[in-house]
Structure 1
């Protein structure tokens, strides 16, 4: 792998600087800017920075009383390039490349507080059973003019006007920002992010882009993480913001990250496909696993104070613990279509999630269900918001409590990651309580 990435540097002599970056618990890229000679050294020897860096709060501050800071002398982890290798950074003015890295202990063991290792832990469980998840995500985001205190949709470069309305599946809304979306797709191609269809959504200046299914959950999460950085960076080059925060506008629906997945066996057959619309027992077992873990996983799917403004009845975001065939009011949806493509759509996560942790929670819960072999309750029909069903946690505090005391979560995540996540979110919840809603939006708008 290092030889291949060194080849990339030689094939792209225009690259002037490198960013070597890992993903922290909040999905923020943390790392170093370096000249090309230093990047070549990273390929061979890796780089180092404190383990605590992957466990900062949303402001980028240390977690108080974390054992990663003063208790251990704020010791370093060792970081090495992931199999992704270099990717260009088309949103920057000077030709640059990002080198994704992940953290290890000095003795070579994966650092269990690294979100990418959390997903790899789940992927390895599938591999040990001869199974391969095939994963795709749909990412919703807002284009926002944040040049004043009042957030609003940007002025269209086409018309010079500001369209103060949501336009679901509107070609006009897409065409109003045609230059931005054209550059975005070109950039996705250069970064090898498999961007598929784009649509306008129900929010003010809200859009969604689907990423193509890939038979590698780590690759799918890498794509989502890189895509979020790209969209936010490119929007700023166009003079406005792009935000994946869950709910920037009180009066409009929020943004989600819907995850679709099927599972292949060793022969490449979809284990959810029974040749018909119902799906196999394995599909039912995976659904039950997802349902069992849903309330306890809320902190992963709704990790921020603003996340809970999205999870309210009637807001196009699921609030009930239920599943259904072809029903978007349910948390777990089985889409219609060809039996060979039978899959689960997990609809709970907000756009503000860490993609590695979200996919680890989803796929880990599904595998728990496959292992346990339990059947789910009957699928619902009709509007889930109007039915008496078990509910997702309605507050950050409740989600933290459920996460902290969950045997389901202990089956999916390592103790180190659970501890770090709890300490981070408890500190953030305490400090966010001192801020106004407008101040919270200011924090989340660019960060998540």
Structure 2
């Protein structure tokens, strides 16, 4: 037995000893739209997998649409026989699931690192980007911030209702950032944080955001980009589960209300060399400017990643603190790329454009490719918003246009992998067309 299997087996056995009532473990992985798929394994079988037994799932699970259906994408799904593909357990991710009625475990799985990785699996796409950067002596430090809304558990005519204040039983329908809201919703927020920490997630600051029932929770900085994206994905899963326990719905939908702010995924990224020096801070911060330029140049071609669905595009309509063009600025929350005030050691870029429902692995991969290409091209960026409030680069705000822009971009195909770009763009195109196959009440009002 090799060292990896030995460590995994020790992890499973320690988990069983700590949680003797757990009979099943969910083995989960994120698909292209950002949903978890997987299988529920008896804990005894998990020991066998940890010891080296084969773990396989259908390759095409990764290609599921938002509603779970499969689309014809090249030869995948309908002309390939729906083959299995090997997966492996991700060490250190076996954790308790305590928001369900009976205790369960969960553990991440991935094709990354197997003998035949799935080139369009989101975690594998990020892994390849990180490995390439490491070969170049570039080591990112990453922190995610996620905004989300709480709604009442019961929908009304299919529409979400404001979360009810636990103290007054009134609808929390007043947009504000008052600290009292954190106190009123403390029971559910506290359990969300504690549950996240039980998953190994370093949760830090909690903020009551501008929207009614809207909050933001930040995570600690990590020098492991894969783990940082794991945290973001797992946080969404556990937060939804805890909210249901408290008779709420937690949603990371990017724009649930037209009249209120949307929810974003903010990603802080620093880049270091092997000695721990901040690459962005060298030479009077010239590399920072180059990295910003590369990120801004690539951004319009990454829109299907940053705004992965029709609703996420709605968020980019000029509301508060959301850019409608690719822009940057120092301490400016209207910019896509904000450079927070910090010392040289912690100099970083905060990428603010992605919706909260974007796939965290792919968002981080796209950001890193932009930074990488900027450092290599060494071009000057456009003027920051601090100097010119009209500065910015247009990006597509309609999905099919965004897909065309992404699919044809040579540098993005090189940075993320041509096969991934082809598969992802076709998945988004098919998903968008499927969404449009419905006649809404508004359509009857307009055209009947």
TM-score, normalising length: structure 2: 0.92
- Does structure 1 retain, via aligned residues, the 8 Å contact 2:162–2:173? yes
- Equivalent pairs counted in the alignment come to 432
Deviation at 1:408, TM superposition (A): 2.8
- Does structure 1 retain, via aligned residues, the 8 Å contact 2:155–2:161? no
Q: What does 1:279-294 align with in structure 2 at a 5 Å threshold?
A: 280-294=285-299
Question: Hey, what does 2:276 align to over in structure 1?
Answer: 268
- Does structure 1 retain, via aligned residues, the 8 Å contact 2:59–2:83? yes
- Does structure 2 retain, via aligned residues, the 8 Å contact 1:51–1:68? no
Aligned-partner Cα distance in 2 for 1:239–1:438:
29
Deviation at 1:221, TM superposition (A): 0.1
Aligned-partner Cα distance in 2 for 1:236–1:376:
45
Please, which moves more after superposition, 136-145 or 401-410?
A: 401-410
3-state SS in 1 of match to 2:27: strand
Q: 1:172 to 1:382 in 2, by over 3 A?
A: farther
- Does structure 1 retain, via aligned residues, the 8 Å contact 2:85–2:116? no
> Which consecutive residues of structure 1, in runs of 5 or more, have no partner in the other structure?
440-448
Deviation at 1:158, TM superposition (A): 2.2
2:148 aligned with 1:141, yes or no? yes
Q: 1:264 to 1:437 in 2, by over 3 A?
A: farther
Question: Hey, what does 1:397 align to over in structure 2?
Answer: 400
2:337 aligned with 1:329, yes or no? no
Aligned-partner Cα distance in 2 for 1:237–1:383:
48
Aligned-partner Cα distance in 1 for 2:203–2:172:
26
Deviation at 1:380, TM superposition (A): 2.2
3-state SS in 2 of match to 1:267: coil
Question: Hey, what does 2:93 align to over in structure 1?
Answer: 85
TM-score, normalising length: structure 1: 0.92
Question: Hey, what does 1:243 align to over in structure 2?
Answer: 251
Q: 1:370 to 1:388 in 2, by over 3 A?
A: closer
Q: 1:84 to 1:375 in 2, by over 3 A?
A: farther
Q: 1:427 to 1:79 in 2, by over 3 A?
A: same
2:389 aligned with 1:367, yes or no? no
- Does structure 1 retain, via aligned residues, the 8 Å contact 2:269–2:350? yes
3-state SS in 2 of match to 1:175: helix
2:208 aligned with 1:200, yes or no? yes
3-state SS in 2 of match to 1:294: helix
Of 19, 28, 33, which aligns to 1:12?
19
2:385 aligned with 1:354, yes or no? no
3-state SS in 1 of match to 2:25: strand
After superposition, give the CA deviation of every residue in 1:374-408 in whole Å (9 maximum; x if it has no partner).
22123222784xx2632221111211111111123
- Does structure 2 retain, via aligned residues, the 8 Å contact 1:286–1:366? yes
Of 115, 119, 127, which aligns to 1:120?
127
Of 9, 12, 15, which aligns to 1:3?
9
2:172 aligned with 1:160, yes or no? no
2:225 aligned with 1:217, yes or no? yes
Q: What does 1:185-196 align with in structure 2 at a 5 Å threshold?
A: 185-196=193-204
Aligned-partner Cα distance in 1 for 2:275–2:441:
53
Aligned-partner Cα distance in 2 for 1:360–1:350:
15
> Which consecutive residues of structure 2, in runs of 5 or more, have no partner in the other structure?
1-6, 443-448
Please, which moves more after superposition, 38-47 or 339-348?
A: 38-47
Give the CA RMSD over aligned residues: 1.9
3-state SS in 2 of match to 1:45: coil
3-state SS in 1 of match to 2:419: helix
Q: 1:339 to 1:388 in 2, by over 3 A?
A: closer
Question: Hey, what does 2:422 align to over in structure 1?
Answer: 419
Deviation at 1:435, TM superposition (A): 2.9
